[in-house]
A and B are shown apart, each in its own frame.
Chain A
Amino acid sequence: MQQLLSLIGHHGYILVFVIVLAEALGLPVPAAVALVAGGAAAASGVLSVYRILLLALLAMVIGDTLLFVAGRYMGWGLLGFLCKLSVNPETCILRSAESFYKRGKATLLFAKFIPGINTMAPPLAGSMKMPLDTFFRHDVVGATLYATVYIAVGFLFRDFLVSVMRGFQTAGRAVEAVTVFALIGYALYRVWLYRKHAVYRVVPRIQVEEVTRRLASEDKDKILLMDVRSHGYYDAEAARIKGSIRIEPNNLKDELKNIPKDKDIFVYCT
């Protein structure tokens, strides 16, 4: 924090702009701290509070709009990618989409204050085809709220910044400890999952060339191509292997009742 204050004293505007833009693009940098430091510098007369606010807004809106456009072009693939980390990707996609559909506009207003959500909200709005002007209006209000709160904290509590700094350092250490424990817990969970499903490693594999060769032979009637993707079906332009059938991976037991056992099944996902 002390180094950041000193840097902001020297490179002020450009530093605040770059840090806030980086956070808006999803990089793990302390934009809130930069805004507080900028507010404190403004209270000291080193920087202009209006310019700091304007640059912070500009940086956030640029970053968020880029993520919004990325979400628009990537479609549901983006949400599918992010949900791969969850326990149940299919449920994660459906619940996230429904939740954002119900509360998306309000989410945009307060997303900046919630780590993780701040990066997720703009691309999700893009994926869900929120009109650009609606997104822009809500994003500007949310960004203004975020920047104003933190700049005001720095501006009003300049004299108490030392104690605030200590608070940040203490909070930072606590967050580090929690993060480390969470990462260890997650790694252990993945190891447990890997060991639990170790049997799947022995499932035979087949190369694409071999599949095409068999499909071109007299064997073709003894083959069943099975699409088991969980998130490949949300985009209207989604494609699949010609002649394959869709099997819902989360409902496999019921789905298998209609599958003949006398055929070789070639399973694929993305």
Chain B
Amino acid sequence: MLREEGFNAFVIVGGLAAWRKAGNPLEPVPRDDLVKLPTFS
């Protein structure tokens, strides 16, 4: 869909797991981006 919309998009092979495995830097997901699901606690 990105390509259809004219974006020059590429898929990172292995995704986040491969990125993490290669020891590349990560950051915590910002609080505002977290989807809150209900919990019993």
Binding site for B on A (CB under 8 A): 76, 93-94, 97-98, 101, 104, 125, 128-131, 134, 203-209, 211-212, 226-227, 229, 232-234, 236-243, 246, 252, 256, 259, 261, 263-270
Mask of B12-24 contacts with A, CB within 8 angstroms, 1/0: 1111111110101
Instruction: Report yes or no: B11 in contact with A98, Cβ–Cβ below 8 A.
Output: no
- 14 cross-chain CB contacts under 8 A: A93-B37, A98-B38, A130-B41, A204-B11, A205-B11, A227-B16, A234-B37, A239-B26, A240-B29, A242-B24, A246-B33, A256-B7, A265-B8, A268-B19
Instruction: Report yes or no: B38 in contact with A101, Cβ–Cβ below 8 A.
Output: yes
- Collect the chain B residues with CB atoms within 8 Å of residue A128's CB: 37-40
Residue of B nearest to A231 (CB): B35
Residue of B nearest to A260 (CB): B7
Instruction: Report yes or no: A129 in contact with B39, Cβ–Cβ below 8 A.
Output: yes
By DSSP majority rule, is chain A's interface helix, strand, loop, or mixed? mixed
B16 to chain A, nearest CB (A): 6
Instruction: Report yes or no: B38 in contact with A238, Cβ–Cβ below 8 A.
Output: no
Number of A-B contacts (CB under 8 A): 133
- Collect the chain B residues with CB atoms within 8 Å of residue A264's CB: 8-10
Instruction: Report yes or no: B41 in contact with A129, Cβ–Cβ below 8 A.
Output: yes
- Collect the chain B residues with CB atoms within 8 Å of residue A203's CB: 2-3, 9-11
**In whole angstroms, what is the CA distance A195 to B39 when docked?**
38
- Collect the chain B residues with CB atoms within 8 Å of residue A94's CB: 35, 37
Instruction: Report yes or no: B26 in contact with A206, Cβ–Cβ below 8 A.
Output: no
Instruction: Report yes or no: B34 in contact with A238, Cβ–Cβ below 8 A.
Output: yes
By DSSP majority rule, is chain B's interface helix, strand, loop, or mixed? loop
B34 to chain A, nearest CB (A): 6
**In whole angstroms, what is the CA distance A238 to B27 when docked?**
9
- Collect the chain A residues with CB atoms within 8 Å of residue B28's CB: 237-240
Q: Known: A76-B37, A236-B34. Contact between A246 and B29, CB under 8 A?
A: yes
Instruction: Report yes or no: A242 in contact with B16, Cβ–Cβ below 8 A.
Output: no
Instruction: Report yes or no: B10 in contact with A204, Cβ–Cβ below 8 A.
Output: yes
A109 to chain B, nearest CB (A): 16
- Collect the chain B residues with CB atoms within 8 Å of residue A227's CB: 16
**In whole angstroms, what is the CA distance A266 to B19 when docked?**
12
Instruction: Report yes or no: A206 in contact with B29, Cβ–Cβ below 8 A.
Output: no
**In whole angstroms, what is the CA distance A228 to B21 when docked?**
19
Instruction: Report yes or no: B5 in contact with A129, Cβ–Cβ below 8 A.
Output: no
- Collect the chain A residues with CB atoms within 8 Å of residue B16's CB: 227, 229, 232, 239-241, 268-270
